[in-house]
Structure 1
Amino acid sequence: MKRTIVTYGGTQYTIANEDTETVRARIDEGLRSQPFMWLQVNYGDGRATPALLLVSPATPVAIVTERDVDEQDEDSSVARYLLPDQQRPASVELGPADS
């Protein structure tokens, strides 16, 4: 079973049995004729609590598809999940006032 994670205001919510394309299309359609819309989501782990999010064109919303652990892609390489090494700044020399 897939579920979509919606990040809104720094909190994660879920929508069961819908993929990202469906959720995005629903938001696009809702905002096409109105200045805002209510998006029904679930809040919490375990027993989910229904919640409504007020979405407008200026609302930052992230939509992510969560996959089952046993579901595999054709590109199921672990390497694609690793972030490249970040360049670390050279050591900073401390002056007399910094010691």
Structure 2
Amino acid sequence: MKRINILYAGKQYSISGRDVEEVKEEIRSAVETAIPSWLEVNVGEGRYKRADILLSPGIDITVIGIDADD
């Protein structure tokens, strides 16, 4: 997996160096416990610029695994 794209509240972020299933499990656990938590992501492309997005029930989030061939 080259990277993971995250669509969150209509904006795109990315994560690299992690497994897509691991990220999905982290999100599922955060939403299931109903205790808000933060997910570290990158804003934009290229140089890393950290952002933290809030994980809680009712927030739209999509996880897209991007292969090195895409």
The code of the aligned residue for 1:50 comes to R
Larger-gyration structure (1/2): 1
Partner of 1:57: 57
Q: Unpaired runs of 5+ in structure 1?
A: 71-99
- The answer (yes or no) to whether the contact 2:34–2:57 under 8 Å persists in 1 is no
Deviation readout 1:26-82 (Å, 9 max, x if unpaired): 112233434311111011111020000011110110000011127xxxxxxxxxxxx
The CA distance in 1 between the partners of 2:20 and 2:55, in whole Å, is 16
User: Could you tell me whether the CA contact under 8 Å between 1:2 and 1:19 is conserved in 2?
Assistant: no
Over the matched positions of the two proteins, sequence identity in percent amounts to 34
Distance 2:10 2:33 in 1: 27
Which structure has greater strand proportion?
Answer: 2
Answer yes or no: is the 8 Å Cα contact 1:6–1:13 preserved in 2. Answer: yes
Greater RCO (Cα-Cα under 8 Å, separation 6 or more): 2
Residue 16 (structure 2) pairs with residue 16 (structure 1): yes
Which residue of structure 2 lines up, in the alignment, with residue 73 of structure 1? none
TM-score for the superposition, normalised by structure 2: 0.84
Q: Give the alignment's Cα RMSD to 1 decimal.
A: 1.7
Which consecutive aligned stretches of 4+ in structure 1 deviate over 4 angstroms post-superposition? none
Number of positions where the alignment pairs a residue of Structure 1 with one of Structure 2: 70
What is the letter of the counterpart of residue 56 of structure 2?
S
CA distance in 2, matches of 1:42, 1:61: 15
Distance 2:32 2:46 in 1: 34
Unaligned runs of 5+ residues in structure 2 are: none
